[in-house]
Amino acid sequence: MSQPLLPDDPATIGGHRLLARLGAGGMGVVYLARSATGAPAAIKVVLPELADEPDFRARFRREVAAARRVVSPWAVPVTGAGPDDPTPWLATAFVPGPSLGEAVHRSGPLPTHSVRALGRMLAAALRAVHEAGIVHRDVKPGNVLLAVDGPRLIDFGIARSTGHTALTATGLVAGTPGFLSPEQAEARPGALGPPSDVFSLGCLLAYAATGRLPFGEGTAQAVLYRTVHDEPDLAGIAADDGAAPRPAADPAAAGELLALLRQCLAKDPAARPRAGEIEARLAGDPPSGGAWLPPHVVRDIADRSARMLALPDIDRTVVDRPGGAVTPPHTGPGRRSVLALGSGGAVLALAGGGAALWAATRDDGAAPAGEEPWAVGVHADLSGPGKAAGKAHEQGVRLAVEQYNARAGKPFALRLRTADDGGSLRRAQAAAQALVRDRRVLAVVGPTTDACVDGAVAAYEEALLPMLLVKPGAFRLVGGRHRVPLHCRPLVYALGFGLAVHLTRQEKVSYPGLMQDRTADPVAWQITQGVADGMRKARTRFYPRVVPAGLDDLGPQVTDILHAKVDSFVYAGPAEGAAGVARGLAAAGFDGPRVGPEDVAETVFLDEAGAAAEGWLLGTSFVDPQRLPATASFTRAFRRRFGAPPGRYAVEAYDAANLAIDQLVRGVRDGRPPERARLTTLLRAARYRGLTKTYVFNRENGRFEGEVCYLHRVENGEFRFLGAVPGGD
């Protein structure tokens, strides 16, 4: 939905009169505007702090140049740009229709003739893109807008010239999981070319035809894994594909579409057709015009276009009241409300949406008189299944804040603000919004689970509120599109690599078995990849086995691995599965090294495995502060404050809070701490010596630069902390 302009929004940009806000995100704000000729336009305006970063300005300049080189009736044209202006901006023609994703979500799959026509016109757009020497890299339903005369391909924000060196770090995935090619999913930038866009087009057309993602739902890493290793789900497109086709489908046309999609979705880029070939093979389909779409979609486009004609010349502004409430001021007679556009509008795809939340919570660093002190937030599961770790987070941060407030001569006071998500994705969104709306909260430690991170990151990203992640370790947020996450721990991949270092250097293994239990993907997959890469680096062969999710009995898989005569066993999966594996290994008399990830370090493993758990080694990101000399003073202070020993992750949360406090103090100007956006930059550039480790981050993506892996061994029915893997950091 569009939102009224705010008081500090400019009236014009590059000769365009601004009418309303259409979206806001970590990159900037997108406005609905009219050009000097009266034509509607979507204008992306970059945040000032990004404009000062040379790398970002170079990327934005590349985006503008890429978009200008594409000439096609099915691609939204650039109508103006100021990449070198003090505040960079980019204007495109405005398309009032819904996105393909919105249309399918609301009304279901498109008929076969519509999908074929869609494929023909988008293939023509991609042909123009590729002839301009560009790879789009993000062909997805949200980047295709529907108009009566045909679709429009938008958003060249991550497009790059063929052979151009990416500005993002090697090994990161750019694009949208579910619509990425295998070469993108494996982060092989050198292999990206026009065939990658063709694969994405195949995913998009399969989604339009079935209403399903061809490689399934789930976490980003699970979808990426299936993209690389599994066949696409194309059931229901044609009668010969094992499922009934959709009603009113021409069997011959549907069969041809199915065959074409299978070729587009080939794992080998060389086996995929070119965009021009796809265009030619679909050339006999209905011409552009309303007949290519179902009547209800045409009506939706027409309704939106009609409302567009009522767009005002100057829109209302809003008053930002204390406490974050945003309300429109009184307007005189004749004022009209701004056009309410759906989330499929062109600029929402460019900026990511969420204008209302951003407007209500953005932080300009101002602190109205009489308000509470500045705050550090804790976003955690404090009442659900992960409440033990959540409580440890809260107590660790609370101790850090109280110790800071006890300092003499501190430049400002701090308070603690907590938000409980109960381990729920839905509640995680509300918890994040509550912290974002408190404009005195400058940094947040948490959330405490990977799933809740997924639910909260959009709110924090739009508000540019730094989030320091202590427990979550999946690398789904390491992509360059996110600016606020800071990984205050090694990623789970690094733990897998550390386990491989220990096995090959200390245990001297020569042929380990490696079981990936997909019940725990994507974490299990990332652990497995880390172990496998570590083994390859040590030139140690291994026996891998991937087992489906949800198996109650892993006995046959354990037997298979043991029949390969392995001398050690690595299990990547949940604690319950590890208990079954441990019992199976014990029953077989296997006494070689047995290793698992930190997800196994739970009491359920000890309870269900019993004596079979003895001797297991677990690689973790957390320490036992009661057994680490460097944390002795913390342990004493914690006991005095809370009357009990620190829980798991308490000292790591304490370190993260002190890291944030350190940068808040270092960034003080005129007695005031840095605002959220500046603190984000300061944190990524920081080097901080904590009690558990030295914190250094990749400035591009916030990834923790160390590769430290801590070991725990099960001894006498307890987890005994052994310290860091030698040589693993």
- Residues labelled catalytic: 138
Cβ neighbors of 143 (< 8 A, separation 6 or more) are 99, 153, 154, 155, 349
Reference 115, options 243, 328, 282, 1; nearest CA is 282
CA distances from 578 to 380, 530, 574 (A): 26, 18, 6
Q: Say if residue 207 is exposed, middle or buried (CB neighbours under 10 Å; 0-12, 13-18, 19+).
A: buried
Q: Which tokens sit at 184?
A: 């993108």
Distance CA 25, CA 47 (A): 9
Tokens of 382: 């404090």
Task: Give the span between the Cα atoms of 428 and 379, in whole angstroms.
Answer: 8
449: its two tokens: 């689970």
Question: How many CA atoms lie within 13 Å of 409's alpha carbon, on the beta-carbon side?
Answer: 0
Tell me the helix, strand and coil percentages in the chain, rounded to 5.
40, 15, 40
Residues in the chain: 729
Residue 619: half-sphere exposure toward Cβ, Cα within 13 Å: 36
Residues 211/233, Cβ–Cβ less than 8 Å: no
Axis-axis angle for helices 523-537, 220-229 (nearest 10): 60
If one counts every other C-beta atom within 10 angstroms of the C-beta of residue 57, the result is 16
Q: How far apart are CA 450 and CA 509, in angstroms?
A: 32
Apex 139 CA angle, 149 and 342, nearest 5: 60
Q: What are the residues whose beta carbons fall under 8 Å from the beta carbon of 688, sequence distance 6 or more?
A: 658, 659, 662, 663, 694, 695
Phi and psi angles of residue 718, each rounded to the nearest 5 degrees, phi first: -135, 160
Distance separating alpha carbons of residues 145 and 350, to the nearest angstrom: 12
- Cα–Cα distance between 402 and 669 in angstroms, integer? 23
**Angle at which helices 100-107 and 295-308 cross, to 10°:** 130
**Do residues 371 and 409 lie in contact, with contact meaning Cβ atoms separated by under 8 Å?**
no
Amino acid identity of residue 557, one-letter, is: Q
Tokens for 429, please give them: 């969104």
